[in-house]
Amino acid sequence: MSYRADASSPAGQMSQAKAAPPARRRLHLLPYILVLPIILYEVALVVYPITQGILGSFQQIELAANRPPRWVGLDNYQRMFSDPAFWKVMQTTLVFTVLVIVVAVGAGLVTALLFNRPFPLRPAARASLMLPWAFPEVPVVMIFIWILSPQFGVVNLLVRWIPGVTQNPQWLQVPWLAMMWVVLIASWKAFPFYSLVILAALQSVPQELYEAAKVDGASPLQLFWNITIPSIRSTLELLVVLASIFSFKQFVIIYLMTGGGPSGATETIVMRIFNTAFRFYDYSYATALGVAGFVVSLVIAIFFIVLQSRRARENA
């Protein structure tokens, strides 16, 4: 008499349990297979170039002489730390980064607060807000160069209406004016993204908090400082870190607007790396500057991770 185990019987369950491990092992390999292309991409296009850059900073590279790199140890770093121009460039980079963070994130916060309130045609206004962020950088810079032209720029027509202004300002030839316009253009290009992220965070704040605070007689300013800011603090911290990294590595706008001038007033660390490598062909020193910029960006990212971890422990 033949016996066939049913799936609900103990014997059937034991047979299914014995057959399960091979299928489970095959299923466990699927995540690794899916993530393998990303790992290969990161290794080939991120890890390998960074490693080569770090190694190149300890070598003397002379491509024009057609000679292999020569190991020089810390000579490039000693030259960098003793170079007054390097510290001036880092100061300019810090000023540019801080100003872009304040203007871009501040404008993003203000516009997000405005677009979070109901008004007619709000969806169309939100869509138009993203246009500056969507435009390519090169056409944007070309348009602003035309607007700021000393001969026929539109801005000069407006400035000439100010009493006492009799000549067209040289917007990109005066150091502080050039820095101001580079910061404004970089902030105008970036703030819609920050506004969109802040707007999403604002819409997740429970309205019951505002209603309860209004019942207690809280003013709009008190609502902003005691409810809005604490509720979106983690989002603002993330945007400050992203804005600092994005501004730290900003190249296209500065290169096309001023090229780092006038007199190095807008020369950031990225512009210095470009000029050192592709204008002066000093690749060894350029790699050392690149490592310095990479370390600064890494420190900013680590600081944010530590800050978020500490905040998560406090909220736990």
| Average pLDDT value for residue range 75-100 | 93
pLDDT of residue 292: 92
Give the tokens for residue 224: 């902003």
pLDDT greater than 60 at residue 121:
yes
Taking 70 as the threshold, does the pLDDT of residue 189 lie above it? yes
Give the pairing of strands 59-60 and 70-71: antiparallel
* pLDDT per position as a tens digit, 157-186: 888 788 777 777 888 888 999 999 999 999
DSSP state, residue 60: E
Of the ranges 97-101, 218-222, 274-278, which one carries the lowest mean pLDDT score? 218-222
Whether 97 has a pLDDT exceeding 90, the answer reads yes
Average pLDDT over residues 255-277: 91
pLDDT of residue 8: 53
**Amino acid occupying residue 188:** W
CA distances for 147 relative to 64, 180, 195, 231, 297, angstroms: 41, 15, 25, 40, 33
Domain boundaries, the chain: 86-315
Mean pLDDT in the chain?
Answer: 85
Superfamily of domain 86-315: MetI-like (1.10.3720.10)
What's the pLDDT score for residue 1? 45
pLDDT (mean) for 100-125: 89
For the chain, the farthest-separated pair of C-alpha atoms sits apart, in whole angstroms, at 113
What percent of the chain has a predicted confidence (pLDDT) above 90? Answer: 38
Residue 95 has a pLDDT of: 94
Q: What is the pLDDT of residue 103?
A: 95
| Tokens (6 digits) for 18 | 């014995």
Looking at residue 44, its pLDDT comes to 92
Point out the least confidently predicted range of 14-23, 101-110, 133-142, 290-299: 14-23
- Taking residues 267-293, report their average pLDDT: 91
- Residues 93-121, mean pLDDT to the nearest whole number: 91
Find the mean pLDDT for residues 245-253. 90
Q: What is the Cα–Cα distance from 173 to 150, expressed in whole angstroms?
A: 10
Helix residue spans in the chain (DSSP H): 10-42, 48-56, 75-81, 84-100, 106-115, 122-129, 131-134, 137-147, 154-159, 175-203, 207-215, 220-223, 229-231, 233-248, 252-257, 269-278, 283-315
Phi first, then psi: what are they for 70, rounded to 5°? -115, 130
Q: Poorest-confidence range of 4-13, 142-151, 250-259?
A: 4-13
Distance CA 13, CA 18 (A): 9
List the single range of 84-88, 90-94, 206-210 with lowest mean pLDDT. 206-210
Res 126: pLDDT: 82
Structure confidence at residue 268 (pLDDT): 93
Whether pLDDT at 198 is above 90: yes
